[in-house]
Amino acid sequence: MHVAFFLLLGASLTRFLLRHPWEGRSPWIIALSGALAALYLLGPVLGTRATPRRIAWLVTVVAVWMVLVLLAPSFGWCAVPLFYTGLRTLPTRAALFLVTLLTAFVVFAQVQLSKNGFDPDLVVAPPAVAAIATAVFVHAKRQADRQRALIDDLIRTRRELAATERREGTLAERQRLSMEIHDTLAQGLSSQQMLLQAAERTWDSDPSTARRHVRTAESIAERNLAEARRFVHDLAPADLAEGGGLQEALRTVAGRESAAFRVDGVPVPLPERVQSALLRIAQGALANVREHASATSAAVTLTYLDDQVVLDIADDGRGFEPSAGRDRGSARGHGGARGEGSHGSVRGHGLPAMRVRARQLGGTLTVESTPGEGTVLSVSIPLEVRP
């Protein structure tokens, strides 16, 4: 549009000088053309917003152009770029008034230039051009406003989505932390407490047994420290990190709890997430057996089927009523009813955490138990779980 303005201004001045080689008004025409060009160059510096300086500049440009049109009607077509300048700068009503005023001057200029009497085209063509130019600009402006609104809405939606993802990520991380703490540190601390209490009771009557309890508590504390370090760095469980895979890790955990361990089926490689989840579930279930079931034996079975891997933890303890445990938020844990102790809120996290771990991998967890007849906890994970 700027290039078009200067081309029209130059063409108008050239036409005037060719038709009127030198007249008394020629110096004024040349001076006003230079002034109009200089003024127009200031426009981009002032921006496009309707500030007082911008409006004063526009009024000055239009005034100089009108004087030029009165002196030399051939400058009338410079109005077309001024249409868009006014439409970009002024409010809609003021811009339409300016366009009408400029169009009237263009009609005047065309009539003045006509030497063959009245010509309807000279009266109709300028308003038609002005109407088309105004319609194109208004349509483009509306489209731009619509796109700007869509972009603003998209940016706002992305911000809201990012905030939602952050909240969901925070909640997921809190849930992960709670499960990790329950299945590692909390269970280990509970075992240490029981061992140290047993050592205190037998310290005087049976020092060797008390020392054995203390040494066992010390080894549990050492394992818990290793778990905590890997947990902070979001690494695999300590038993998995020692090598040998899931089977060896489960065999180590089962041996630590004096439980039998067996593998059925043909072992296949499992994603790290699945191995960690199954090991954590086994740790939590065996801890519940030790603390609540009063069992004389327990068994851990890892079964590889065609489409899933199944982990079973069975004990011959006192059992419980699974439906009642679910109704109370699984407060009794796996293996038997317990009293309302000071650690109830911690222990009651066991079964819900196991269910969450299984559900996150697309699997299921079931508990079969009858009071006085033991408990079987079973978790199945599809083999096509993505790592």
Q: pLDDT tens digits for 31-63?
A: 999 999 999 888 888 777 778 888 888 889 999
| pLDDT value of residue 232 | 63
Question: Is residue 309 a contact partner of residue 278, using CB atoms and an 8 Å limit?
Answer: yes
The span from the CA of 301 to the CA of 277, in Å, is: 15
Report residue 258: phi and psi, to 5°: 60, 40
Encoded amino acid at 217, one letter:
A
Residue appearing with tokens 């089926």: 265
344 versus 240: which is more confidently predicted? 240
Superfamily for the 245-387 domain: Histidine kinase-like ATPase, C-terminal domain (3.30.565.10)
Q: pLDDT tens digits for 196-243?
A: 888 898 888 888 898 888 988 888 888 778 777 766 655 556 667 666
| pLDDT value of residue 150 | 92
| pLDDT value of residue 46 | 79
The span from the CA of 314 to the CA of 288, in Å, is: 11
Looking only at the bridges linking them, the beta strands covering 375-382 and 308-315 are: antiparallel
Q: Looking at residues 247-257, what average pLDDT do you find?
A: 89
Q: Sign of the CA dihedral 165, 166, 167, 169?
A: positive
Q: pLDDT tens digits for 276-310?
A: 889 889 988 998 888 888 889 999 999 999 899 99
Q: Looking at residues 342-371, what average pLDDT do you find?
A: 75
Question: Is residue 321 a contact partner of residue 371, using CB atoms and an 8 Å limit?
Answer: yes
Encoded amino acid at 344, one letter:
G
Report residue 100: phi and psi, to 5°: -60, -45
Report residue 364: phi and psi, to 5°: -135, 155
Is 0.85 surpassed by the pTM of this model?
no
Q: Is 114 helix (H, G, I), strand (E, B) or coil?
A: coil
| pLDDT value of residue 376 | 94
For the chain, percent of residues with pLDDT exceeding 90: 19
Q: Which tokens is 159 given?
A: 């911000």
| pLDDT value of residue 149 | 92
Would you list the domain boundaries of the chain? 2-118, 245-387
Q: What torsion do the CA atoms of 214, 215, 220, 221 make, to the nearest 10 degrees?
A: 70
Report residue 69: phi and psi, to 5°: -65, -40
Q: Does the structure show a pLDDT above 70 at 351? A: yes
Of residues 90, 92, 124, 132, the one with CA closest to residue 106: 124
Q: Which tokens is 234 given?
A: 């979001």
| pLDDT value of residue 19 | 84
